[in-house]
Amino acid sequence: MNNEEHKVRQALAEWRLEPEADPGFRSRVWRRIDRAVDSETWLVYVRRNAASVALALGLALVAGGWFGRVYAQQQVKRDRDRLAWDYLASIDARYQADQLMKR
Amino acid sequence: MRNFLLSVVLIVAAGAAAWTYAYRRCCDPDLRAAARAGDAEHWLRREFHLNDAQMAAIEKLQADYAKECSVHCHRIMEAKEALMALESESNIPVARLTTARTEVAQREAECRDAIRGHLRKVAALMPPAEGRRYLAMLLPKVDAFRHEGAPNLRLDP
């Protein structure tokens, strides 16, 4: 080890870095993170949250399909029932008598 | 936030599309139209898979029954009007009221029996399985008339 090298090592060993506290450091970091998140495209966002998006989409499809089916079946049942009553009313003298007496 | 909201909107739209698809696959537009128009004959033909000959025979039976139905209707109205007249008077003996009420019930029972008989005749003109289904659907409604059915028929178009 020559003399120059020794001086450098000594200088490095004695060197103490004492940065001043920066109160705005954290907020600046978060602002940069927020900016980065805001500027990402929707496709990147979806890829980053693929599991949640897939789960929500699956639930929406299943729930939408199920409710649509149930609603249609109930409507068919109601329509059929109503037509059956219409048909019966046309041959039911009790109903016709009630209607005539209401007039 | 923008991406989150966009995702929510697209997921809701996908749910709505699934609802529409399932509804269209399971609904019955022809039945819907018949219900809106109150077209019971169309429903009868379609519901019980009747051909033209069967439908013509049923229509003839219905036309014949209509005369009997109007006689029943007239008799029921007479009995009800008599009962209402009695009920509007004061100091009427209970026995007279009871007789008048019995008369109404009796005439309604005659009407009910006539409807049942008519329904059985109509069912006999249908294919056997359809006839059984027809009776299974309509006979309980004849008995349930007072409790749930006909009076509010057309109030909800």
Q: How far is A80 from chain B (nearest CA, A)?
A: 7
C-beta atoms of A82 and B23 within 8 A: no
Q: Is the dihedral of CA A12, A16, A19, A20 positive or negative?
A: negative
Which tens digits make up the pLDDT trace of A51-100?
A: 999 999 999 999 999 999 999 999 999 999 999 988 988 888 888 888 88
Rounded Cα distance, B41 and A84, in Å: 10
Query: Does A75 reside within a domain?
Result: yes
Query: Does A52 reside within a domain?
Result: yes
DSSP class of B126: S
Rounded Cα distance, B96 and B76, in Å: 17
ipTM > 0.85?
no
Three-state secondary-structure class, residue B140: helix
Residue A68 structural domain: 23-102
> Can you state the percent helix, strand and coil of chain A, rounding each to 5?
80, 0, 20
Q: Is the dihedral of CA B78, B80, B85, B90 positive or negative?
A: positive
Query: Does A97 reside within a domain?
Result: yes
* Residues 7-36 in A contacting B (C-alpha not used; CB under 8 Å): none
Rounded Cα distance, B72 and B115, in Å: 10
What's the domain count of chain A? 1
Query: Does A3 reside within a domain?
Result: no
Q: How far is A82 from chain B (nearest CA, A)?
A: 7
Among B57, B71, B56, CA closest to B124: B57
Which tens digits make up the pLDDT trace of B89-138?
A: 878 888 888 898 899 889 988 988 999 999 999 999 999 999 999 999 99
